Structure 1
Amino acid sequence: MDTMQVGMYPRMALAVLLAATFMGILDVLIVNVAGPSIQRDLGASFSDIQLVISGYVLAYAVALTSGGRLGDSLGKRQVFLAGMLAFVLCSVGCAVAPSVGVLIGLRVAQGLAAAVMLPQVLSIIQDVFPPQRRPRALALYGGTIGMGAVVGQIVGGALIRADVLGLGWRSVFWVNVPIGLVAAACVPFVLPRTRAVRRPADIPGLVLTAVAMTLLVYPLVRGSGGSWPWWVWPAFVGSALSLVGLWYVERGREKAGQAPLIAPSLFRDRGFTTGLGAALVFYCGNYGLFLLLAYVFQEGLHLSPFASGVGFLPLGLGFAAASLCGRRFAVRHGNAVLKLGSVTMAIGYLALIATLAPGPFASPRTEALVMAPSLLIAGVGQGLVAAPLIGVILATVPPQEAGAASGIVLTINQLAGSLGVAVLGALFVALLGADPQQRSAHLTGHDFTAALMGCAWALFALAGVTGLLAWRLPSRSQPAVGTSH
């Protein structure tokens, strides 16, 4: 490592790393508020928009662990820079995409670029900052994630409303370009070189993971918009068989002393598997809720994209504020914060159900305003769970296994997000009875809020399951602060 370079430019190095983190989070959430505009402009279906969102998250999840190992093998700075430039290039492609099919393909490519870029961030922070300065850097890292969640919705809505140069929704992808190019130009001067450690790639594990998840998520998305055609069920069977094959392949690699993509031995620990279950259930609800709210605000309540973005503020602010408090609470009280967060989420969803129940509202804007308190409560609950969850899970495994375990946890988080968009999106369409932008269906604002109320019951159930799994985790743990993403 070039220690002189690290000593001279630690703040610049952190700024570059946080810029990459911000872009990665922004591109998950900013597309939610742009979804209705994209669907309208490209003549797409709701299931297409689900794939625009879940395709990015799914590709990121599948390649996440491999991206991290690529940094170890080829050098973190080089891989980080290559991933950032690829991310910017894919953003340009998304911005000029002529059709929704091309946009979906480019979003998958963008997710792969994110999987190359983002795993290097925490690793480089470990290299750049000494132990006494690392907590502050990690706190800023966590704050950047929370800020991306809040800012993404508002920035997306503001850009679409401003319609800069007549770009409309395409501007939400152009915004990455100046950020990415400036950050990339700084990389050679502010980030340290690291030694390459050659490790054999787990190609079979990567392929089987990609096949299993694609055969699960894609049919869920397409089936909900196409009356569940016959090919959906063989695809689900293929997904299950791929998962079985993945287990045997990874177990064989582990026994042979090779580095598996997913270490089966970790699943022998009951606390670890319980924690993974909690993460899967929790993140399924989180990602799906953002997509549904965008359509309810814009298509159901006829708010502008900017007003829709503002409508997300209570959820985002509650999440960000609770994330800061939740980390400190988790250090003192272990997984008790997860129980508190789950209960708070459940209360928020019950309040949302009560808010959406049939009753007189003065106007659509008033209805969105009335939803704000329940979204704030739900956001607080989400923040109390999200910030410490990964640390609580990692506290159940031996320190020497923390690296492999963190890769599995982060992969599960992203896969859950893709699955949540597919499942909650499918439920929303089923309750709505039509595509959200199908004009012949003559959908009303009440139809949208009624569909959201049905989905809120599902979210309430997911919060309950998250809480039950949290109760089964070890009663005391000392989670590692700053490991979540």
Structure 2
Amino acid sequence: MTARRWAALPVLLVAVFVTTLDFFVANLAVPSIRADLRAGDAAVQLVIAGYGLAYAAGLILSGRLGDLFGHRRVFAAGLALFTLASAGCGLAGDATVLVAARVAQGVAAALLAPQVLALLGVLYQGADRARAFGWYGTAVGLAGVSGQVVGGLLVAADPLGLGWRACFLVNVPIGVVALAASRRLLPRTGGSRGDLDVAGAALVAAGLVAVVLPLAEGREQGWPLWTWLCLAAAPPLLAAFVSRQRHLTASGRVPLLDLAVFAEKGFAWGLVAVGLLFGTSAGLSFVLALYLQDGLGLGPLAAGAVCTALNAGFFVASLRPGRFGAPVLVLGLGLLYLVVAGAAEPYQVGLALLVTGAGMGRMMSPLLSSVLSAVRPSRAGAAAGVLGTVQEAGGVLGGTATGAVFFGALGGGWDAAALAALTMLLAAALGLLALRLPRTPANTGFHVKHDQSRV
């Protein structure tokens, strides 16, 4: 049984890796997509932002779906949809189809994420659980920082003449194999009677879209009226969602989100830290994609090679995660080097990225573990949905904010734009030091109630 439990870990980590990777992998393919499909700037931005929007908006709902219909069943449905949507991206004949397929990918990723956390809690206990979540953090972080490299390699290698399409079609065989293994290796958990708060799901999804969509599209379109209307609508929508959840709780019904999870000690500040970390990672990836290719004139393969330093630093450091404070300093030093050096030469960028990746690698696992361990078992499902939402929304907002600063300073040249964006990312990284997070005992982690006889 122990061997079977550990055999299930790669299935879960593959799902985590490919769904996180696809948030970043399209960055270096953007020039090729624009040329091949004759896509405009707005459509290209939606190829990136549409995935993150759908992902962030669907996570809270998907956590509840897992409780109602079973985590393994929803995981399998999400993996099947992700595989089909990846094929749709790779076969898209125009920008509209590609954007629609990317949104479908985001929905599928949202179905998968909370189920992975829940299944990890079922499969592993004690020290094994801490180790499993360490691998989870490594998979998330490594996928986040390697998206540029994988995208650059696939575009440059041009397998079978597929070009940018290979960035999406590579998910198809991976998804098919993982889907076949999931039925045999993953336990059946969850599955209970209860109501699904469809109205609440619509409110929170609309609220998140109303925040992120105008931020992603506003600068490119000159901030038209609809962007300001969306931003103005976001607070009332999210307030209505909170009010509805409180009403359902008070009336004895099961809410979509148990708001009491935010009262858990350290959880709210932990979410802020997660948002800052994922926002910094997404923002750095955005700057690198533009600066290395358009600023320094590197091709996709050369740009991906420079980004390998970030991956190497992350992977090595993630094998020995440290306490929260020290890794933040390492991350800050890497970004500071980029700012001071002006990122004028590829080798300087590579050296700074090596240090930055090490900071991220040592930080990811203890941060995620501390946030999850701050929550009592009865509120684990709510924590999974909220944590995933903050991860994805933080990435979308971080990339959007960094892009706004970068393009706003582009009139002074590529170096000035990179300096402005990196300075903002440095400030965000140093802001992590101000957050006090709870310590994470080695034998604690994420808990999910389950029936051992069904494993």
Decide: shared fold, TM above 0.5. yes
Structural mapping, 1:128-207, within 5 Å: 128-129=123-124, 131=126, 133-149=128-144, 151-194=146-189, 196-207=191-202
Letter in 2 for 1:144: A
Q: What is the CA–CA distance in structure 2 between the aligned matches of 1:48 and 1:482, rounded to whole Å?
A: 41
Over 3 Å counting, the alpha-carbon distance change for 1:183 and 1:114 in structure 2 is same
* Mapped contact 2:211–2:234 kept (Cα < 8 A): yes
Match of 1:392 in 2: 370
Gaps of 5+ in 1: 1-5, 330-336, 362-366, 434-445
| Pair 1:99 & 2:85 matched | no
**Pairs aligned (count):** 446
Does structure 2 retain, via aligned residues, the 8 Å contact 1:59–1:112? Answer: yes
Q: Residue type matched to 1:345 in 2?
A: L
Quote the offset at 1:220 in angstroms: 1.1
The answer to whether the 8 Å contact 1:48/1:100 transfers is yes
- Following superposition, the deviation at residue 456 of structure 1 comes to 0.7
Q: How many angstroms apart in 2 are the aligned matches of 1:41 and 1:285?
A: 30
Contact 2:276–2:428 (8 Å) recurs in 1? yes
For 1:195 and 1:404, locate their aligned partners in 2 and report how far apart those are by CA, in whole Å: 14
- Check whether the contact 2:81–2:105 (CA below 8 A) recurs between aligned residues: yes
Give the conservation status (yes or no) of the 8 Å contact 1:217–1:419: yes
Q: 2:408 aligns with which of 420, 430, 449?
A: 430
Residue 226 (str. 1) matches residue 189 (str. 2): no
Q: Is it true that 1:271 corresponds to 2:266 in the alignment?
A: yes
Matched, 1:417 2:412: no
Match of 1:443 in 2: none
SS of equivalent to 1:170: helix
Distance (whole Å) between structure 2 residues aligned to residue 95 and residue 314 of structure 1: 28
Inter-partner Cα distance in structure 2 for 1:428 and 1:130: 45
> Is residue 87–residue 110 contact of structure 1 (8 Å, CA) maintained in 2?
yes
Conserved 8 A contact 1:275-1:393? yes
Change over 3 Å in CA distance of 1:21–1:351 after alignment to 2: same
Question: Which string of whole-angstrom CA distances, capped at 9 and with x for unpartnered residues, describes residues 184-212 of structure 1?
Answer: 22333333334621232122221111111
Matched with 2:361 is 383
Q: Paired residue for 1:464?
A: 430
Gaps of 5+ in 2: 447-455
1:294 aligns to what?
289
Residue 450 of structure 2: aligned partner: none
Q: What is the aligned partner in structure 1 of residue 451 from structure 2? A: none
Letter in 2 for 1:392: S
- Alpha-carbon distance change, 135 to 392 in structure 1, aligned in 2, over 3 angstroms: closer
Q: Structure 1 pair 132/215, CA: closer, same or farther in 2 (3 Å)? A: closer
**2:348 pairs with one of 351, 356, 370:** 370
Secondary structure at the aligned position of 2:285 is classed as helix
Deviates more, 1:70-79 or 1:449-458: 70-79
Q: Distance in 1 between matches of 2:111 and 2:430?
A: 35
| CA distances 1:45-88 after superposition (whole Å, capped 9, x unpaired) | 45543332232122122212322322232222322222111111
Contact 1:125–1:134 (CA<8 Å) still a contact in 2? yes
Native 8 Å contact 1:139 1:482 kept in 2: no
The one-letter code sitting in structure 1 at the alignment partner of 2:417 is: A
Give the corresponding residue for 2:419: 453
Q: Following the alignment from structure 2 to structure 1, what is the Cα–Cα distance between the partners of residues 269 and 16? A: 28
Checking the alignment, whether the CA contact within 8 Å between 2:83 and 2:176 is kept in structure 1 is yes
* Cα gap change, 1:119 to 1:401, in 2 (>3 Å): closer
For residues 130 and 279 of structure 1, what CA distance do their matches in structure 2 show? 24
Identity %: 39
Could you tell me which residue of structure 2 aligns to residue 64 of structure 1?
A: 59
Counterpart of 1:3? none
Match runs of 1:310-349 below 5 Å: 310-326=305-321, 329=322, 337-349=323-335
2:211 to 216, 224, 233: 216
What's the offset of the Cα at 1:131?
5.0
Letter in 1 for 2:259: P
Secondary structure in 2 aligned to 1:224?
coil
- Give the deviation of 1:93 after TM superposition: 0.6
Residue-by-residue CA offset, 1:336-375 (whole Å, 9 max, x unaligned): x333233322222221011217xxx6xxxxx111111222
SS in 1 for 2:256: coil
Is the Cα–Cα contact under 8 Å of residues 54 and 419 in structure 1 kept in the other structure? no
| Cα separation, 2, equivalents of 1:32 and 1:480 | 39
From 236, 247, 250, the counterpart of 2:242 = 247
Instruction: Identify the match of residue 401 of structure 1 among 374, 379, 383.
Output: 379
Distance 2:217 2:38 in 1: 16
- Looking at structure 2, the residues matched to 399 and 128 of structure 1 have their Cα atoms a distance apart, in angstroms, of 15
Partner letter of residue 337 of structure 2?
A
Matched residue SS, 2:324: helix
